Amino acid sequence: MTRPRPLRADAERSVRAILEAAEQVLARDPAASMEQIAEAAGVARATVHRRFATRQALLDAMATDVVRQLDTLIDEGRPETAPPMVALHRITAGVLRLKLAWPFAMASSMDPTSPMADGQRRIADRCEDLMRRARDHGLLAPTADLTWTRQVYYALLGEAAHATTEHDPDALATLVLDTLLHGLGPKSE
Amino acid sequence: MTRPRPLRADAERSVRAILEAAEQVLARDPAASMEQIAEAAGVARATVHRRFATRQALLDAMATDVVRQLDTLIDEGRPETAPPMVALHRITAGVLRLKLAWPFAMASSMDPTSPMADGQRRIADRCEDLMRRARDHGLLAPTADLTWTRQVYYALLGEAAHATTEHDPDALATLVLDTLLHGLGPKSE
DNA sequence: GTGAAATGATACATAAGTGTTGCAGTTAGC
DNA sequence: GCTAACTGCAACACTTATGTATCATTTCAC
C-alpha cells in the first residue's frame, strides 16, 4: 500500500511536481491526458508512468493525499472536545482552505467509486457526530435531520469554494455556518 | 439550428429513445460510449450517429431539451406576478422533478463550457430577479447577497435531488425553501 | 568517486472510441 | 402500392490515449 522502498530525493520531487500539476490541469479539464499533466509538471510522460503506474493510480494518490490532510485537519479541530461552534468553524475554514488549493482532488475523493470511498464515509460519520453534538448543545434544531444537515453543510462548502467575491477561508467559514444555522431569511421571524 | 425538415415517425421515435437512453447511461457513467448508449436505446450505433452527427451534438441536444423545459417551467411559476413564496415553491418543485428525471442533462447544462451557457445565465438572472422580489417582500433578509442566495439555492436543489429518504418533489421543495430561509438552527434564536 | 537510481527521448504495441460509408431489408407517408 | 426515408449490419479509416521498453545521460546517496 505504501512505498516498498524509500524514494530518492529527485524522485520525490517528481512525485510532488506531478501531483500538483495534475491538480492544476485536471481542475481545468478532468479529461486531460497524462501528456498534458507531464508537460505541466515539467517532466517526460514516461516519468509520470514511472511514479504512477496507471492514470488511475495517479488519481487514487491525489484522493488519498487529500483525504489524509482532511483527517488530520479534523483531528486538529477537536470535534469531540472543543465547543461545537469552535470546532465547526475551525474545521470549516480548514476544509475550505483544502478545497481552494485542491478542488479537483477534493471533488474526486467524494466519488463513491473511488477507493477512498470508505475514507470519505468515515469522515462523513465524524461530521455527523459533530452535528449531533451541535444539536445536543442547542446549536441545531432538535428536529434537525443529521443526514440532511451534513448534506447541506457539504453543499455550502462546495459553493463557498466557488464564491467570487470573498476568498478568505475564515470569512467564508463564517458565511457557511451562518447560512447553515440561520438561513437567508430576515432575523425577526 | 432547428430541424431543416420534419422527421418521419420512426426517426422521431429513435431520437426520443436515444435521448432517454443517453440520460440513463450517462447518469451512471458520464464517460460511457456511443455504443453503450445505442445498446441501451435498442438501436444500432450508426443510427445514433444518423440522428446526432457527433457525440457533442447529442450532449447539446440533451442540454437544450432540459433548458427549454426549465424555461417553460419557470414561466408557469409566474415569478414576476405571483407571491414570491408561491412562485418559489412551484418553481422549486418543478426543478426538482426535472432533476430527478434528467439528472445528467441538468448537470451538464450547468457546465459553463456548454453551448447552453447563455441559457443557464438567463435562467440564473431570472432566478436572481425572483430572489430580489422575495427580498423586497421581506422573505429574505435585506442584507442578503443575491448571488450567494442563488448559489445556496442551487446547491440545495442539487442535494435535495440526492436525498435518500424523501422523493416527493413537493415535500422536497418545502424542505429546500425552509432550509434556505431559516437554516437548520433552533427556532428561538 | 562509484554505483545505483532516476530521467529524457524515442519508439512501439495495444486498445478504444469516433465518425463514415455501402448495401440490403423495413417501414412510414402519400 | 410506390417511393423515399429509415434502419441494422458490417467494414473502414482515423484519432487519441495508455502503457511498455530501450538506451544514453544525469543526479543522488554513500
Q: CA-CA distance, A160 to A176, in Å (whole number)?
A: 7
The CATH number given to B1-53 is 1.10.10
Q: Are B140 and A186 in contact (CB under 8 A)?
A: yes
Q: How far is CA A129 from CA A96, A136, B6, in A?
A: 20, 11, 59
Rg for chain B, CA atoms, rounded: 19
Question: What is the model's pLDDT at position B4?
Answer: 64
Q: Which three cell numbers stand for residue A104?
A: 479537483
Q: How does DSSP classify residue A87?
A: H
- A185 vs B187: CB contact, 8 Å cut-off? no
> Structural domain boundaries of chain A?
1-53, 63-182
Residue for cell digits 438567463? B122
- Residues 6 or more apart from B33 whose CB is under 8 A from it? none
Percent of chain A with pLDDT over 70: 97
Interchain CB distance below 8 Å, A152 and B182: no
pLDDT by 10s per residue, chain B, length 189: 455 678 999 999 999 999 999 999 999 999 999 999 999 999 999 999 999 999 999 999 999 999 999 999 999 999 999 999 999 999 999 999 999 999 999 999 998 888 899 999 999 999 999 999 999 999 999 999 999 999 999 999 999 999 989 889 999 999 999 999 999 999 864
Which nucleotides in chain C lie less than 7 Å from some protein C-beta? 5-11, 16-22, 27-29
pLDDT at A114 over 90: no
Residues whose CB is less than 8 angstroms from the CB of residue B141 and which lie 6 or more positions away in sequence, other chains included: A184, A185, A186, A187, B135
For residues B185 and A135, is the Cβ–Cβ distance under 8 A? no
Task: Quote the radius of gyration of chain A (alpha carbons, Å).
Answer: 19
Neighbours of B4 (CB within 10 A): 5
Chain A positions in Cβ-Cβ contact with residue B156 (cut-off 8 Å): 152, 155
How far apart are the CA of A17 and the nearest CA of chain B, in angstroms? Answer: 27
Of A139, A155, A163, the CB nearest to B185: A139
Instruction: Tell me the residues of chain A between 130 and 159 that have a Cβ less than 8 Å away from chain B.
Output: 138-142, 144, 147-149, 151-152, 154-156, 158-159
Question: What's residue B188's pLDDT?
Answer: 60
DSSP H helices, B52-83, are 55-76
Compute CA A180 distance to the chain's CA centroid, rounded to the nearest angstrom.
19
**pLDDT-based confidence at residue A188 (cuts at 50, 70, 90):** low
Of residues A105, A146, A143, the one with CA closest to residue A128 = A146
CA distance A47 to B32: 29
Tell me the longest C-alpha to C-alpha distance in chain B: 63
Q: Say which CATH superfamily domain A63-182 falls into.
A: Tetracycline Repressor, domain 2 (1.10.357.10)
CA distance B67 to B98: 10
Cα distance between residue B117 and residue B186, in whole Å: 39
Residues 91-130 in A contacting B (C-alpha not used; CB under 8 Å): none
C-alpha cell of residue A12: 520525490
* Distance between CA atoms of residues B67 and B70, nearest Å: 5
Residue found by looking up cell 426549465 in the block: B70
| Spatial distance from the CA of B16 to the C1' of C29 (Å) | 20
The dotted CATH code for B65-182 is 1.10.357.10
pLDDT digits (tens, 9 = 90+) for B43-57: 999 999 999 999 999
Residues 6+ apart with CB under 8 A from B110: B120
Centre a 10 Å sphere on the Cβ of residue A59 and count the other Cβ atoms it contains: 22
